[in-house]
């Protein structure tokens, strides 16, 4: 017999994102806050060592540690990678107390609002995202086909997504950011509970922003930045850009326009993670996406319902 599984909620995968860990403390003191949907929810602080020192990570970004080859490489033992293995051992789909769905709570210095990030096109993830978009209208960033950014936490669970809220500085707790994160988690649990009871209805379409690529700042030959983000682009995540629109500005005031590859000239693209503090070291000043409307696939709901049916029920829903 299959073991009834939990829904895993991870807060503080990055140690300097403080809003979700603040909520986690609250949920631990008041467990009923997340119990109204009758699901068995496991709460975990993603990277306690990084959280303690208020830094994104200790040695390696925990949210880039979940690539199978990295997890399996016994010669690698960075603190964060060990934490990734530990999270899978305790809460992975094959753990003693398994989780089948993971909600990974993040915050960003970019003006993303309350948004969802998906990694790839797994039907169950798409169904969960469609349900959440139907409920709260959240925009969705689909990250895929980017060889330079891999090993995301949610990929190691059968179903999962990131709830990403901003703008908020690193190290700062803001009530509004917490509120939006909480709304996202509550809505996700409602969608999962509805799927479990066979009552989930998905919208006909999913609006999704598909990753096209990322732009780095223009740089001097020595690697130092030669320009910064154009002020007109600051806080303008999701707003369409066209080829030639100003994206950077140098210290003398010279504007640098968006250069799109030939197949995208004439199209509009939507920027995300604009000037995210943590991405400077990754060489990402912003990422570009294409807004698409997809019909919701008939297999999506089935995939999510299959997983949701394996989730434990914690008494009758209130």
Binding site for a second copy (CB under 8 A): 22-23, 25-26, 29-30, 54-55, 109, 167-176, 178-179, 224-225, 228-231, 234, 249, 251-252, 275, 277-278, 280-281
Kindly state the smallest distance separating residue 224's Cβ from a second copy, in Å: 6
Q: Binding site membership for substrate: which residues?
A: 56, 63-64, 164, 279
Instruction: Locate 302 and state its tokens.
Output: 């089935």
Cβ within 8 Å of residue 271, ≥6 positions away: 233, 236, 237, 238, 239, 241, 286, 287, 288, 289
Residue 177 in tokens:
């950011």
For residue 164, indicate whether it is catalytic. Answer: yes
Complex with a second copy: residue 30 or 148, whichever CB lies closer: 30
H or E segment and range at residue 289 = strand 286-295
Shortest distance, CB of residue 105 to a second copy, whole angstroms? 15
Nearer to a second copy, 121 or 179 (CB): 179
Binding residues: 14, 17, 56, 63-64, 106, 164, 279
Binding residues for Zn(2+): 14, 17, 106
∠ CA 43-83-304, nearest 5°, is 50
Nearer to a second copy, 42 or 226 (CB): 226
| Identity of the residue, 114 or 170, whose beta carbon is nearer to a second copy in the bound complex | 170
Question: How far apart are CB 231 and a second copy at their closest, in Å?
Answer: 4
288 C-beta neighbours (distance < 10 Å), count: 21
Report the b/e string of 198-236 with b at 16+ CB within 10 A.
eebebeeebebbbbbebbebeeeeeeebbbebbeebeeb
Nearer to a second copy, 120 or 280 (CB): 280
Q: Provide, rounded to whole angstroms, the least separation between the CB of residue 249 and a second copy.
A: 6
The active-site residue, picked from 59, 144, 164, 276, is 164
Closest CA to 150 of 313, 271, 282: 282
* Spatial contact of 143 and 119, defined as CB atoms under 8 Å apart: yes
Give the H/E segment covering residue 21: helix 19-29
DSSP of 101-114 = EEEEEEE-SS--EE
| Active-site residue list | 164
């Amino acid at each position: 017999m299959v073991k009834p599984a939990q829904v895993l909620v991870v807060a503080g995968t990055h140690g300097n994102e403080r809003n979700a860990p603040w909520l986690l403390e609250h949920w631990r003191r008041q467990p009923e806050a997340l119990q109204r949907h009758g699901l068995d929810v496991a709460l975990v602080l993603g990277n306690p060592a990084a959280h303690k020192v208020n830094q994104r990570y200790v040695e390696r970004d925990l949210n880039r540690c979940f690539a199978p080859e990295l997890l399996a490489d016994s010669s690698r033992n960075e603190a964060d990678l060990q934490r990734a293995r530990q999270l899978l051992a305790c809460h992975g789909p094959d753990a003693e107390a398994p989780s089948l769905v993971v909600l990974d709570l993040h915050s960003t210095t970019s003006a993303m609002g309350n948004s969802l990030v998906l990694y790839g096109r797994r039907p169950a993830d798409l169904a969960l995202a469609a349900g959440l978009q139907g409920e709260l209208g959240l925009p969705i960033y689909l990250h895929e086909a980017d060889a330079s950014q891999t090993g995301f936490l949610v990929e190691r669970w059968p179903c999962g997504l990131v709830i990403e809220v901003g703008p908020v500085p690193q190290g700062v707790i803001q009530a509004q950011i917490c509120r939006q994160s909480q709304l996202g988690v509550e809505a996700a649990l409602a969608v999962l509970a509805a799927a479990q009871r066979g009552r989930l209805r998905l919208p006909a379409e999913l609006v999704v922003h598909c990753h096209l690529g990322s732009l780095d700042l223009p740089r001097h030959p020595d690697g130092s930045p030669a320009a910064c983000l154009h002020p007109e682009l600051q806080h303008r995540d999701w707003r369409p850009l066209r080829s030639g629109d100003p994206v950077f500005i140098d210290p003398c005031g010279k504007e640098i326009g968006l250069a799109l590859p030939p197949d995208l000239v004439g199209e509009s693209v939507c920027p995300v993670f604009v000037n995210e503090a943590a991405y400077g070291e990754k060489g990402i000043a912003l990422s570009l996406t294409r807004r698409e409307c997809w019909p919701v696939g008939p297999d999506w709901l089935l995939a999510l319902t299959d997983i949701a049916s394996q989730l434990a029920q914690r008494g009758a829903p209130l």
